[in-house]
């Protein structure tokens, strides 16, 4: 099934017995086939908003449309069977085996046995569960394994939309990191419209294609891609919510390919020794990288030039701080801080020279 967009228009929720709305009139367009993260302090109505999408909570006012169709046009149970739902405590059925848990929605949809069995096996493989776990009960699985089962169960009927309420909140940080990476891998393959609620800003930045920051009472403060959010917070609330480590967080989001690379202290080996000395002077370094036909061959100290007739005859040194265009700026910075040269050489396919990264070039990009 192809992914669909979700549209919230003027969605309001006021709980009985309370005067202030939990969610103020909220307009939010959730992109199809992408992960949208809802985040904010407690009381911001992020979970309420999520639960209004599958009508576990009925909005007081406003409309929600999935793929252009108002969610009230279907029966509640039909609607929910077409939306994947994953919660923090997983909520697996303790009295059902893992296979029966994963096959819960197909069973509700009256699929025949063979089709359900095939689908259960397929999903177990997709989320990385051993086939021998299928006949066990949930209590026999670890927290991380249970959460994988929860995701598999949500995906069973191949719904276009997946709602996840703090899905990784109950597992330890190491397992959480692994499950986050697995979700991103999974999303590469299934391309669902995912709405995910979290209170962890790092998780929001890691997982979100878009992040919607909500303030108390369901007020949407900013809805943007994570890098945009970190670079241009809309207001003081967003800025304080993102925290003091805004720049450091951006380092993990941007890659070297996003940088304007400096040419770096390099010279083509066809140049003369005199030109090489001039280049050393110009870059103010004690060493020079050598390029042959666009490939980085190595580097040499300034003193290596003294006895050289031409650059091609110099015996180049190999060890050098190199990275790829796909490396994050955080990795680049790490490398630069540990390299005496204070630059990282960017190579494509392990040899083609693209340029050099300096602390200054990273700073300019984040500024």
Partner 1 sequence: MTALSPVPATGRSAATRWVVRGVVAVALVAFAIWAKSRIDGLDTSTQATNPIIRWEWLFLRERTPDELREMTIQHLQLTVIPMAIGITIATGLTLVARKLRWSLTPITVVTSFLYTIPSFALFGILRTLTTNFQAAVIALTSYSLLVLVRNFVAGLDGVPGHVLDAADGLGMGPLRRLITVEIPLALPVIFTGIRVATVTIVGLVAVSSIIQLGGLGSLIFEGYKVLFSTKIVVGTVLSILLATLLDLLLDWVGRLLTPWARRKAEP
Q: Rounded CA gap, 283 and 279, in Å?
A: 6
**Least CB distance from residue 134 to partner 1, whole Å?**
14
Please give the sequence-ordered ranges of beta strands (E in DSSP) within 179-311, or none if there are none.
Answer: 193-198, 210-215, 219-224, 266-268, 287-292, 295-301
Closer residue to partner 1, CB minimum distance, 105 or 261 = 105
Closer residue to partner 1, CB minimum distance, 66 or 220 = 66
Encoding tokens for residue 333?
């910075």
Q: Is 337 helix (H, G, I), strand (E, B) or coil?
A: helix
Encoding tokens for residue 356?
């050099």
* Residues in contact with partner 1 by the rule CB under 8 A: 54, 56, 76-83, 85, 87-96, 104-105, 108, 136-137, 139-142, 150, 153, 163
Q: Is the distance from CB of 167 to CB of 196 less than 8 angstroms?
A: yes
**Least CB distance from residue 51 to partner 1, whole Å?**
9
**Least CB distance from residue 367 to partner 1, whole Å?**
45
Closer residue to partner 1, CB minimum distance, 53 or 259 = 53
Per DSSP, the residues of 93-140 read -TTS-HHHHHTHHHHHTT--HHHHHHHHHHHHHHTT--GGGTTS-GGG
Q: What is the dihedral of CA 204, 206, 211, 214, to 10 degrees?
A: 10
Q: Is the distance from CB of 114 to CB of 58 less than 8 angstroms?
A: no
Closer residue to partner 1, CB minimum distance, 52 or 357 = 52
**Least CB distance from residue 146 to partner 1, whole Å?**
10
Q: Rounded CA gap, 171 and 174, in Å?
A: 8
**Least CB distance from residue 188 to partner 1, whole Å?**
25
Closer residue to partner 1, CB minimum distance, 122 or 140 = 140
N-term to C-term CA, the chain: 42
Closer residue to partner 1, CB minimum distance, 157 or 201 = 157
Closer residue to partner 1, CB minimum distance, 137 or 237 = 137
Cross-strand bridge partners of residue 7 = 29, 65
**Least CB distance from residue 77 to partner 1, whole Å?**
4
Residues 6 or more apart whose Cβ sits within 8 Å of residue 62: 8, 9, 10, 11, 12, 25, 26
**Least CB distance from residue 94 to partner 1, whole Å?**
6
């Amino acid at each position: 099934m192809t992914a669909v967009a979700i549209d919230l228009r003027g969605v309001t929720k006021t709980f009985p017995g309370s005067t202030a709305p939990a969610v103020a009139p909220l307009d939010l367009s959730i992109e199809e086939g992408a992960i949208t993260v809802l985040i904010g302090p407690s009381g911001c109505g992020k979970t309420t908003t999520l639960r209004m999408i599958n009508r576990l909570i009925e909005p007081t006012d406003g409309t929600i449309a999935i793929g252009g169709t108002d969610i009230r046009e279907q029966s509640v149970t039909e609607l929910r069977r077409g939306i994947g739902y994953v919660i923090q405590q997983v909520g697996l059925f303790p009295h059902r085996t893992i296979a029966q848990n994963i096959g819960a929605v197909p069973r509700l949809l009256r699929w025949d046995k063979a089709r359900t069995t095939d689908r259960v096996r397929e999903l177990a493989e997709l989320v990385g569960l051993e086939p021998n776990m299928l006949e066990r009960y949930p209590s026999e699985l670890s927290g991380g394994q249970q959460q994988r089962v929860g995701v598999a169960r949500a995906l069973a009927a191949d719904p276009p939309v997946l709602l996840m309420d703090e899905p990784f909140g109950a597992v330890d940080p190491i397992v959480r990191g692994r499950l986050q990476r697995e979700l991103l891998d999974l999303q590469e393959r299934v391309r669902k419209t995912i709405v995910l609620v979290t209170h962890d800003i790092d998780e929001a930045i890691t997982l979100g294609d878009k992040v919607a920051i909500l303030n108390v009472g369901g007020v949407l403060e900013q809805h943007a891609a994570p890098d945009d959010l970190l670079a241009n917070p809309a207001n003081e609330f967003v800025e304080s919510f993102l925290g003091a480590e805004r720049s450091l967080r951006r380092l993990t989001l941007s890659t070297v390919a996003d940088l304007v690379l400096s040419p770096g202290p390099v010279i083509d080996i066809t140049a003369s020794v005199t030109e090489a000395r001039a280049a050393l002077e110009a870059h103010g370094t004690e060493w020079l990288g050598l390029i042959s036909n666009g490939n980085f061959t190595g580097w040499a100290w300034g003193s290596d030039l003294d006895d050289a007739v031409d650059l091609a005859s110099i015996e180049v040194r190999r060890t050098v701080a190199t990275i790829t265009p796909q490396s994050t700026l955080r990795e680049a910075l790490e490398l630069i801080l540990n390299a005496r040269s204070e630059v990282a050489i960017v190579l494509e396919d392990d040899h083609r020279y693209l340029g050099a990264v300096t602390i200054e070039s990273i700073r300019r990009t984040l500024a």
